[in-house]
Amino acid sequence: MREVEIYPVFMEKEVIEVIGKVVENLPNTLFRVEVGESPVDELKGRTLLCHLSGKMRMHYIKILPGDKVKVQITPYDLAKGRIVYREKG
């Protein structure tokens, strides 16, 4: 009989998705993002330090100050986030 390997099923991590506006470009694909729309009240109007997601780096998607972006934030650190999408327009 052959042994069958069973891989654990990973649950998707809990993240908070917010919409914000890029305020400043920093070195190493870091950005300051001001949060606009948020399901968490304490995040509204806050400025976050965000890095670019791997897929956006891989596809050379450019982010400029003034762009509207979607940011994922973990509940463990509400000061940092990951930019996962650049809104059109």
CATH of 16-86, one of 2.40.50.140, 3.90.1150.10, 1.10.1200.10, 1.10.10.1400: 2.40.50.140
Is 66:23 a contact under the CB 8 Å cutoff? Answer: no
According to the model, what pLDDT value does residue 17 have? 92
Q: What is the distance between the alpha carbons of residues 45 and 35, in angstroms, rounded to a whole number?
A: 5
Q: Kindly list the averaged pLDDT for each block of 10 residues, start to end, along the chain of length 89.
A: 53 82 96 92 93 94 96 92 91
Q: What are the boundaries of each domain within the chain? A: 16-86
According to the model, what pLDDT value does residue 21 have? 97
Nearest to 48 by CA among 15, 76, 83: 83
According to the model, what pLDDT value does residue 56 have? 92
41-46 contacts, C-beta under 8 A, 24 or more apart:
42/78, 43/16, 43/18, 43/73, 43/78, 46/78
